[in-house]
Structure 1
Amino acid sequence: MKTDLTAKDIMTKQVLMAYEGWSIKRLTEFFMKNSISGAPVIASDHSLVGVVTMSDILAFESKSLEEKGELLEEVYSEFVGQHYDAQTMRAMMGKADENCTVNQIMSDSVIQIDSNANLQEVAYVMLQHGIRRIFVSEHGIIKGVISTHNILTTMAK
């Protein structure tokens, strides 16, 4: 294996983005359609605001109805400017994945690495942060993504 490989040599250049206003249901469908398990999250102005993964979706799905109700209340009071009675909220809890947004489950911490970082540095940062993907940037702009799959494929060659 070449030891002088950099992040830009092994990264996947096509980075699929999720929007913070998408429903969790739409995000799940997006992940399944594209066979991915995570994506950076952008706002309507295309600014990078976070990262979301299948683990975030699973954590949401494992929440109690009460916790989902709190998230629904947050959506409707903050974004819609309305409060609903308890009976209406209970009815909406059954479709929480259609009413709660990516913004509510994403992490606002995005780990990035410079495109010129060497493979060892990439692996070290991923291990230090306990992450399975890292975004590759040049001058603060995301140019690609490296997953554990990229690293293993490179090592296998």
Structure 2
Amino acid sequence: MNNTALLTAKEIMTKDVLMAYEGWSVKRLSTFFIKNKISGAPVIASDHSLVGVVTATDLVNFEGKSDTEKSQILKDIYDEFVGMNYDEKTMLSLSAKADENCTVNKVMTPKVVQIDEDTLIVDVAKTMLESGIRRIFVTKNGIMSGVISTNNMLKVVSQLS
């Protein structure tokens, strides 16, 4: 076993990761993606814990929903977070501005593959392959600390002699 195999996730991860907050509106998320020229981001809660991942595909899927489907998503949001139960007519009018009223946590994928900073890169590679993913989120005590992409892994491989 050479020294490269003993590298940990923390040593090869990208530390500066753009993140979205679960309470952002879909409209704000769209602006965030466009401004930063990205197509996806990890989603964090107000306590900075990793709660999901959201992509441009999630936004496209949301925009493709009918007004009735958007209205149901908004109803769930208002019931859960605001404690208000609006009539169908009000919900349909709110759905016209769904991108401003719907939050990221309703369109994100809540299942996230993550690893701890101390994970050896051989285990990182296995997890990525087994999960069929091109990037994996790195956490320390459940808090986002970085991301490892296939690019990070290829850099390590390219330095092998």
2:103 to 83, 101, 104: 101
From 39, 42, 56, the equivalent of 1:40 is 42
- In the aligned structure 1, how far is the partner of 2:153 from the partner of 2:60? 25
* Structure 2 unmatched ranges of 5 or more: none
Please tell me the root mean square deviation across aligned C-alpha atoms, in Å: 2.5
Equivalent residue number for residue 114 of structure 1: 116
Q: Which residue of 2 aligns with 1:59?
A: 61
Q: Matched residue pairs, number?
A: 156
Question: Secondary structure of the equivalent of 1:51?
Answer: strand
- Paired amino acid for 1:50: G
Deviations for 1:26-85, whole angstroms, at most 9, x for unmatched residues? 112112222233322222233332222223222222222221111011122222222333
Distance 2:75 2:141 in 1: 39
Q: Does 1:126 align with 2:128?
A: yes
Hey, what does 1:49 align to over in structure 2?
Answer: 51
Indicate if the aligned counterparts of 2:50 and 2:144 stay in contact, CA closer than 8 A: no
2:27 counterpart (25, 28, 31): 25
SS of the residue aligned with 2:42?
A: strand
Which residue matches 2:75? 73
Distance 1:120 1:142 in 2: 21
TM-score (norm 2): 0.78
**Once structures 1 and 2 are overlaid, which stretch shifts more, 142-151 or 62-71?**
142-151
Deviation at 1:21, TM superposition (A): 0.9
Give me the whole-angstrom Cα distance separating, in 2, the residues matched to 1:57 and 1:123: 29
Segments of 5+ residues of structure 1 without an aligned counterpart are: none
Q: Secondary structure at the match of 2:84?
A: coil
Residue of structure 2 equivalent to 1:14: 16
Q: Residues 120 and 46 (structure 1 numbering): CA distance in 2 closer, same or farther, change over 3 Å? A: closer
**What's the TM-score once normalised by structure 1's chain length?**
0.80
Percent of matched pairs sharing the same residue: 60
